[in-house]
Structure 1
Amino acid sequence: MLTTLKGRIATLLLCLAFLLAMLAGRAFADEEQVWAALKQGGKVVLLRHTHVDMREGIGHLAPENCKEEVNLSPRGVEQAKRIGEAFRAHGVAVGEVLTSPYCRCIDTGELAFGHATPVQYLMPPGVLSDSQAKLNRERVLLDIRNHRSSANLVMITHELNISDIVLEPSIAMGDFFVLEPDGTDFDVIGKVRIAGR
């Protein structure tokens, strides 16, 4: 009995050591390293829209009638502007800015980068059928893997879309991840949180 218990403890400790080693290997670069990587170009930025006041109707989409949607709060407007300022201050070139068709995502892109192109496949999965959500995820992954440009591609979307790709359970509004594609896959370089929220 004692031998079996010791064996189980040893197995658990080995599993724990393996898990810690895996997590250490996935550790993100610090923010200055992330900015330096972005400055090189060719990266993909996955950005969650900036701050909104959560309330009923968050999933309601009203094309060309933003008054009916949940929109950026004054804090979210300022946050989006700060994101754009941070990209400019770090000398980071931004090419295409793709966004979910929700006004809060489009506005984040326009306030931060001066332009935004809404695309259906960046919609949140919770408002779609399972099959459409799966197709959208595959399209996003394809765009990430195939990104080839000296400029950085920005994709502004929702928490669930981002967490599903970077395997991070919770992403605050306005946070973004930087990915480095290689044609067949991508590496997550790191995460940036703009200060002063």
Structure 2
Amino acid sequence: MDFVMTVRTWCAGPALVAAALLAGSSACAQADAAWPALQDGSIVLFRHATAPGGGDPPGMKLGDCSTQRNLDEAGRAQARRLGEQFRQRGIKVTAVLTSQWCRTRDTAELAFPGRAREDSNFNSFFGDPSRQPAQTAAALALLRQWRGPGVLVVVTHQVNISMLTGLGTASGEGVVVRPQGQGLEVLGRLAP
């Protein structure tokens, strides 16, 4: 089942990846313009900060960070800067959700200390693509309920953000969205 996402209209599925690659350069040019979009009722989907490598090592366990790919020092500094940007701009963050992966939780904790709550709807399905349709539908349903007050911050993974918005993201990059119709309207991007 495909979900209509408005970026100016994206569809989840194979066309999504091709469209994201074609739109990438113009979306990046709008990064600074996205900060004003962070108002009551908006959502920002962040890819976790820099964690060298890709995927996770064999034998990865959710409850054991020593088995996972984790933030390096650059990633920890990136996460702290992220939170500082929100504080400097006076952006009211009401809720912070993360996947159960250590790198997403650590990103959220460094950026927004003591605020993060885990939500398995934002767990990576990189290693098990069969989970994507149901998980993306559940994440979308949760996001479509958000009305504020303030901003909802979600720290998740590139694959999740791609399926929800049609956009690829760099480590620490954010995509600002708001619920619209049956999907999400992309308002802009926040550079890492």
- Letter of the 1:113 partner, please give it: F
Q: Where does residue 107 of structure 1 map in the other structure?
A: 106
More off after superposition, 177-186 vs 58-67: 58-67
Q: Where does residue 189 of structure 1 map in the other structure?
A: 187
Q: Which runs of 5+ in 2 are unaligned?
A: 1-18
Q: Which has the higher strand share?
A: 2
1:98 paired with 2:97, answer: yes
C-alpha spacing 1:59/1:48, structure 2 compared with 1 (3 Å)? farther
Q: Percent identity?
A: 32
RMSD: 2.5
C-alpha spacing 1:134/1:67, structure 2 compared with 1 (3 Å)? same
- Mapped partners of 2:34, 2:79: distance in 1: 19
Give the structure with higher Rg (CA).
1
Q: Where does residue 46 of structure 2 map in the other structure?
A: 47
Q: Which runs of 5+ in 1 are unaligned?
A: 1-18
**In 2, are the aligned partners of 1:61 and 1:102 still within 8 Å (CA)?**
no
Q: Where does residue 179 of structure 1 map in the other structure?
A: 177
* Superposed CA offset, 1:107-137 (max 9, x none): 000000112111211111223361x321110
Q: RCO greater where, 1 or 2, for CA within 8 Å and sep 6 or more?
A: 2
- Letter of the 1:87 partner, please give it: F
- Mapped partners of 1:167, 1:44: distance in 2: 16
**In 2, are the aligned partners of 1:29 and 1:190 still within 8 Å (CA)?**
no
Q: Where does residue 72 of structure 1 map in the other structure?
A: 71
Q: Give the drift of 1:186.
A: 2.4
Q: Where does residue 121 of structure 1 map in the other structure?
A: 121
Q: Give the drift of 1:67.
A: 1.8
- Count of paired positions: 169
- Letter of the 2:123 partner, please give it: M
C-alpha spacing 1:145/1:175, structure 2 compared with 1 (3 Å)? same
TM-score, length-normalised on structure 2? 0.78
- Letter of the 2:126 partner, please give it: G
C-alpha spacing 1:60/1:88, structure 2 compared with 1 (3 Å)? farther
TM-score, length-normalised on structure 1? 0.76
* Superposed CA offset, 1:162-197 (max 9, x none): 1122212x3110000000213643210000113xxx
Q: How does 1:15-34 map to 2 (within 5 A)?
A: 30-34=30-34
Q: How does 1:90-169 map to 2 (within 5 A)?
A: 90-114=89-113, 115-128=115-128, 130=130, 132-168=131-167
**In 2, are the aligned partners of 1:41 and 1:152 still within 8 Å (CA)?**
yes
Q: Which has the higher helix share?
A: 1
**In 2, are the aligned partners of 1:29 and 1:189 still within 8 Å (CA)?**
no
